[in-house]
């Protein structure tokens, strides 16, 4: 007997028939004698609909109320999934995040899980129930409903698996595993049998939405056995996230290409070059809880510095307002501007550690297509570039080909 957490994404619970399908799979696992915790997302499109609704009443919705609204999507699907299971003769019970006591901090819309009380779930599992838990939501110490950021049900799944000491966390979605890149953009993309945890972390952090980054962080921290599978097929091993590089038999130099359309670039021009400038620019941004991704600083011959960084598109205006109101006069910057027509493309692979020339191959490939690189950042296993968003798909396709990632 194993304890398995199965997470089903929005397309997997998009209508009653698909929910029935989920219930049938859960029933099969239950019949094998396993204990099952099911985590579900809202029906696909539902979270977007709820956000749009909120924005009709307030352009920048109050975050506490926004979380109150968007968390309802998952409350519908837990009830429906429990019903589908009960109809099949299986004991099942739905749980909101608050009912489990998924305790988070109070950063509405991007809360972090602090603790999960596993007592209620354990007792019900031992009594033979399938526990159906709402993904994406938690509760802060004052009882306010919080949400974990878009795609956050993955994190609920993995965090529950960690808290319960589950044998495996299975992420069921609308693709049958992790591919060399998003198969919607490159149809020739190839499914990976396994990928190292480190590579998955980079791919997720660079925008591969197949797993939310925090779910991968949890899997790494608590060594959760994590697998991505199709909810539309009964056969197939999906993709296993492995912890040892040697376990990854494929051993390619580049494992995958990620991209992100969600970032915007902010440029602060003509800042007198003095110690403390980076802190004075980014300190107030951090204080406002705005995540910064890439950063570039360049000092010109005239002794002034140009400072460029990227933030989430949703937070560009907030960041610009902070800089213009609180920072520009103070540091004497000539100009502050924002550009949200950018995209980021990243190639990822642990093989980069032992191979030189990957960056030059990447830059040459982009140059041959006339694609201008606006920013570059690297880590030991990643090279990321920012380009004009209109070149994004072209860039991903040519890089996929140049690194020979397509089906062998």
Positions that interact with ligand ASP (CB under 6 A): 9-10, 41-42, 47, 73, 135-136, 150-154
Contacts of 86 (CB under 8 A, 6+ apart): 92
**List of residues 6+ apart from 89 with CB closer than 8 A:** none
Residue 341 contact partner, candidates Mg ion, ligand ADP, ligand ASP, none, CB within 5 to 8 A by sort of partner: none
Q: Provide the minimum distance between the beta carbon of 158 and ligand ADP in the complex, in angstroms, as a whole number.
A: 12
Q: How far is the CB of 267 from ligand ADP (least distance, A)?
A: 29
Task: Tell me whether strands 382-388 and 335-339 are parallel, antiparallel or unpaired.
Answer: unpaired
Q: Does 151 bind ligand ADP (CB under 6 A)?
A: yes
Q: Across the strands, what pairs with 5?
A: 37, 169
- Binding to ligand ADP by residue 175, rule CB under 6 A? yes
Q: Which two tokens stand for residue 373?
A: 């690189």
**Whose CA is closest to 257, among 127, 397, 389, 121?**
397
- Considering only residues 40 to 79 of the shown chain, the ones binding ligand ADP according to CB under 6 A are 41
Task: From the list ligand ADP, ligand ASP, Mg ion, none, pick the one residue 96 interacts with, judged by a Cβ distance below 5 to 8 Å according to partner type.
Answer: none
The nearer residue to ligand ASP, 10 or 177, going by C-beta atoms, is 10
Ranges within 130-159 binding Mg ion (CB under 5 A): 151
The answer to whether residues 109 and 29 touch, using CB atoms and an 8 Å cutoff, is no
Residue 384's H or E segment, with its range, is strand 382-388
> Two tokens at 33?
């004698």
State the Cα–Cα distance between residues 178 and 228, nearest whole angstrom. 7
Nearer to ligand ASP, 73 or 256 (CB): 73
Site for ligand ADP in 303-322 (CB under 6 A): none
Residue 118 Cβ, how far from Mg ion at the closest point, in Å?
24
| Contact in structure between 367 and 326 (CB atoms under 8 Å) | no
Looking at the Cβ atoms of 106 and 406, the one nearer to ligand ADP is 406
By CB under 5 A, how many residues form the interface with Mg ion? 2
Positions touching Mg ion (CB under 5 A) are: 9, 151
């Amino acid at each position: 007997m194993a304890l398995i957490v199965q997470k089903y994404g929005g397309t997997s619970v998009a209508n009653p028939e698909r929910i029935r399908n989920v219930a049938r799979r859960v029933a099969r696992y239950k019949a094998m004698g396993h204990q099952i915790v099911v985590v579900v997302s809202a029906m696909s499109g539902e979270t977007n609909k709820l956000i749009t609704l909120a924005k009709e009443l307030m352009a920048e919705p109050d975050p506490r109320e926004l979380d109150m609204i968007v968390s309802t999507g998952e409350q519908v699907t837990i009830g429906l999934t429990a019903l589908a299971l009960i109809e099949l003769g299986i004991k099942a019970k739905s749980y909101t995040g608050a009912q489990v006591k998924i305790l988070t901090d109070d950063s509405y819309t991007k809360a972090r899980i602090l603790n999960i009380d596993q007592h209620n779930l354990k007792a019900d599992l031992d009594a033979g129930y399938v526990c159906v838990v709402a993904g994406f939501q938690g509760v802060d110490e004052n009882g306010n409903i919080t949400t974990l950021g878009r795609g956050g049900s993955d994190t609920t799944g993995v965090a529950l698996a960690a808290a319960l000491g589950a044998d495996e966390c299975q992420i069921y979605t609308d693709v049958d595993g992790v591919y060399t890149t998003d198969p919607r953009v490159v149809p020739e993309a190839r499914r990976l049998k396994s990928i190292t945890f480190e590579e998955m972390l980079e791919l997720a952090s660079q925008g591969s939405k197949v797993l939310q980054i925090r779910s991968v962080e949890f899997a790494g921290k608590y060594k959760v056995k994590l697998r991505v599978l199709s909810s539309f097929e009964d056969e197939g091993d999906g993709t296993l996230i492995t912890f040892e590089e040697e376990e990854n038999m494929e051993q390619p130099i580049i494992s995958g290409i990620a991209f992100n359309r969600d970032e915007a670039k902010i440029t602060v021009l003509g800042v007198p070059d003095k110690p403390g400038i980076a802190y004075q620019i980014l300190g107030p941004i951090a204080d406002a809880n705005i995540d910064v991704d890439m950063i570039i600083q360049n000092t010109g011959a005239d002794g002034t510095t140009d400072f460029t960084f990227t933030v989430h598109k949703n937070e560009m205006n907030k960041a610009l307002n902070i800089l213009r109101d609180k920072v520009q006069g103070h540091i004497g910057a000539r100009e502050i501007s924002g550009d949200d027509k950018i995209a980021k493309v990243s190639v990822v692979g642990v093989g980069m550690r032992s191979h030189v020339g990957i960056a030059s191959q990447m830059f040459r490939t982009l140059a041959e297509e006339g694609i201008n690189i606006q920013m570059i950042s690297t880590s030991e296993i990643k090279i990321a570039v920012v380009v004009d968003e209109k070149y994004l798909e072209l860039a991903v396709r040519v890089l996929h080909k140049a690194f020979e990632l397509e089906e062998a």
